[in-house]
Structure 1
């Protein structure tokens, strides 16, 4: 009977995860104590190599379990998409598939095992700047060394990236100003910064609309490729941002 049940379970997995190897090793260990079944994920990756500490591992495991409804250590594509949204990723279906193929053996149905999920998180973290790097980048625009830069400059820095849209930028900034109000952080023009008349923007400025809704993380939108050295600071009345606090918020 047990053999038939195991065979039936194996056949079911072949149907649900047909893109995965038929002889794939199990992803969970099941134990029964006092009529209660306990599920434990089998970890086959090196957490130290992935730079995932014990606390982060526990958080990632708990999050993964929320979407692993059948407790088999594998998420189907729909479950995987929901997990990505929970992590703050706003990807189209094709983008989500491409991300899955970077770690998953399932190249046709894009299922993601728990170990593959850990690899995915590690890859994303490795591609993102740390807090110190962000502060140094912001500080390069702080010519008066006041520890603050204008909101307009932050918008320009973020808007220079193709993987974030205006709505994402707005939400991020409003979250900062909400936290600034709670913490009592000033958002007005810093002392020592002269008030200057606003410049007239060139024809067509601001007309470009970004369509991408990808947001792998809040901090990643400021990393990589684009040359931001020529970005200008708008001279009108506006809110100012403590970039050390902002960088710390992006790391959360």
Structure 2
């Protein structure tokens, strides 16, 4: 029995290329998909870090004093929550600034962004570890390594976009340089903070928190005002 042939026909107006777009070809649609998944991952990470702050068990609280003691015992978790909330805020604004300056994306840039998001998704773990072992240098170093990899992947994304002409044409050289400097300066300060754990881990965390506060209050600087209003 002869199998019937299946005939495929394509339009003769050249639209076949539009239907069969190469996966590595840069496009504005690719950039839009990256923006969408980025917001989702950040939202989940923000939710997970606050879920680590648990209400004291009712059976352990029998008076006002007991409740105050139980709340005070949560201080390390509130500290690391504030630290990670500021971290996520800074990197979200940084990522949004980059998205506002990049006109299109391809698969390689999307992969770099997914690597960045992988370390965003890891932040609840490093935050929980730091909260449970605030007095240990290893916990501080793990948290710092998380910050370092976030900076490395964000830097690599911007470098790739600029090198391959994905940055919008109206973005000037000063703005491009500012993006690099913001990432590098933050990483230098966080590295200094990590080194302070050799003195005491709490001093290290306090220094990193101050850096986060400085960056968070500077989010409305000239670069972000240009991009997000």
The answer, yes or no, to whether TM exceeds 0.5 is: no
Which structure would you say has the larger RCO, counting Cα contacts within 8 Å and 6 or more residues apart?
2
- Whichever structure has more strand as a proportion of its residues is 1
- Whichever structure has more helix as a proportion of its residues is 2
TM-score by length of 1: 0.27
TM-score by length of 2: 0.29
